[in-house]
């Protein structure tokens, strides 16, 4: 579920558009349906985001 490479791009910040990598991940999760996701802190604006929403 998680990547071993901290530079793996997870998506973009929905607030400022900055690229969010696995290095910024706070939590990785899996839904009951088997989908994976991540919550991360944006390196530019500091907001907590689901970077996959912006893709």
Is residue 53 classed as helix, strand or coil in its secondary structure? helix
Q: Cα dist. 49→3, 4, 24, 32 in Å? A: 18, 21, 10, 21
> What tens-digit pLDDT sequence spans the chain (55 residues)?
455 789 999 999 999 999 999 999 999 999 999 998 999 999 999 999 999 775 4
User: What range defines the domain where residue 35 resides?
Assistant: 9-54
Structural domains in the chain (count):
1
Q: Residue 33: inside a domain, yes or no?
A: yes
Partners of residue 19 on adjacent β-strands: 12
Q: Residue 36: inside a domain, yes or no?
A: yes
Alpha carbon distance 51, 12 (integer Å): 5
Alpha carbon distance 14, 30 (integer Å): 21
- Structure pTM? 0.80
Question: What is the model's pLDDT at position 4?
Answer: 74
Helices (H) and strands (E) in the chain, counts: 0, 5
Q: Residue 13: inside a domain, yes or no?
A: yes
């Amino acid at each position: 579920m998680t990547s071993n490479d901290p530079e793996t791009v997870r998506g973009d910040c929905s607030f400022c558009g900055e690229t969010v990598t696995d290095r910024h991940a706070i939590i990785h999760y899996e839904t009951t349906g088997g989908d994976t996701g991540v919550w991360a802190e944006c390196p530019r604006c500091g907001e907590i985001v689901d970077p996959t929403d912006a893709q």
